[in-house]
A and B are shown apart, each in its own frame.
Chain A
Amino acid sequence: QKEVEQNSGPLSVPEGAIASLNCTYSDRGSQSFFWYRQYSGKSPELIMSIYSNGDKEDGRFTAQLNKASQYVSLLIRDSQPSDSATYLCAITGGGADGLTFGKGTHLIIQP
């Protein structure tokens, strides 16, 4: 049984600061790792994908993967009020495997 664990929050961060979101997973065979953003009542929106150990940067977002520790994180720099949402960590073994999602971390950016 694949498990993805996230702190549900809420995580409150001042505007302009760095928001740090964390995720651990149970299946060592996981190959692909994703962060989705979900606004209330909306569908998951892909923010970042990462497939190998290390950091991957895209604009204000940096994803970090440590397969040995089974740990994925997302950093959001210069946080904006529009970043307030639930952030979902998702993993897959690849191929036709579906995504296994965590419950999400509710992020609040305080103006």
Chain B
Amino acid sequence: EPEVTQTPSHQVTQMGQEVILRCVPISNHLYFYWYRQILGQKVEFLVSFYNNEISEKSEIFDDQFSVERPDGSNFTLKIRSTKLEDSAMYFCASSKQITGNTEAFFGQGTRLTVV
């Protein structure tokens, strides 16, 4: 069964460093998303991406964040200068987004720890 894959599973970085989280969405899906979940809190939407550009973004997705689809399969989230409060699980998701079926499927997540 097709699945969303994310790498790495766990990333430890020093405050102020740049990190890139990587995702391979399901191959025939058109919309890609990043979410984050701080420990003990709810899953929060960061950004959606369609047709090689950002479609929607939340207030959390400020100038330190960027997304890119560098090739036909990968979808990345870059955090330019990490802060302690960026420590969270980051989930990539993808969906077909055809009429009547907007189901989004999640990858296994990357646990980001900023020290």
Q: Which A residues have a C-beta under 8 Å from some C-beta of B?
A: 31-32, 34, 36, 42-46, 49, 51, 88, 90, 92, 94-104
Is B102 interfacial (CB-CB < 8 Å)? yes
Task: List the 7 shortest-distance A-B pairs measured between CB atoms, nearest first.
Answer: A98-B45, A96-B55, A101-B43, A43-B106, A96-B48, A103-B42, A32-B102
What residue in chain B is nearest A94 (Cβ atoms)?
A: B102
Are A95 and B106 in contact, with the CB atoms below 8 A? no
Q: Inside 8 A of A100's CB, which chain B residues have their CB?
A: 45
Number of B residues with CB within 8 Å of any CB on chain A: 28
Are A43 and B100 in contact, with the CB atoms below 8 A? no
Are A98 and B48 in contact, with the CB atoms below 8 A? yes
- Contact string against A for B residues 27-51, beta-carbon threshold 8 Å, 1 for contact and 0 otherwise: 0000101010000011111111010
Q: Inside 8 A of B106's CB, which chain A residues have their CB?
A: 36, 43-46
Closest Cβ–Cβ distance, residue B45 to chain A (whole Å): 3
Q: Which B residues have a C-beta under 8 Å from some C-beta of A?
A: 31, 33, 35, 41-48, 50, 55-56, 58, 89, 91, 97, 100-109
> CA–CA, A31 to B103, complex, Å?
12
Are A46 and B105 in contact, with the CB atoms below 8 A? yes
Are A99 and B45 in contact, with the CB atoms below 8 A? yes
A97-B42 in contact given A34-B103, A44-B91 (Cβ < 8 Å): no
Closest Cβ–Cβ distance, residue A4 to chain B (whole Å): 8
Q: Inside 8 A of A88's CB, which chain B residues have their CB?
A: 42-43
Partner of A101 from the list B42, B46, B47, B107 (CB cut-off 8 Å) is B42
What residue in chain B is nearest A52 (Cβ atoms)?
A: B100
A98-B58 in contact given A44-B43, A88-B43 (Cβ < 8 Å): yes
What residue in chain A is nearest B99 (Cβ atoms)?
A: A94
A-B contact pairs, 25 of them (CB 8 A): A36-B106, A42-B109, A43-B91, A43-B109, A44-B91, A46-B103, A46-B104, A46-B105, A46-B106, A49-B102, A51-B100, A88-B42, A90-B43, A92-B102, A94-B102, A95-B55, A96-B48, A98-B33, A98-B35, A98-B56, A98-B58, A100-B45, A101-B43, A102-B42, A104-B42
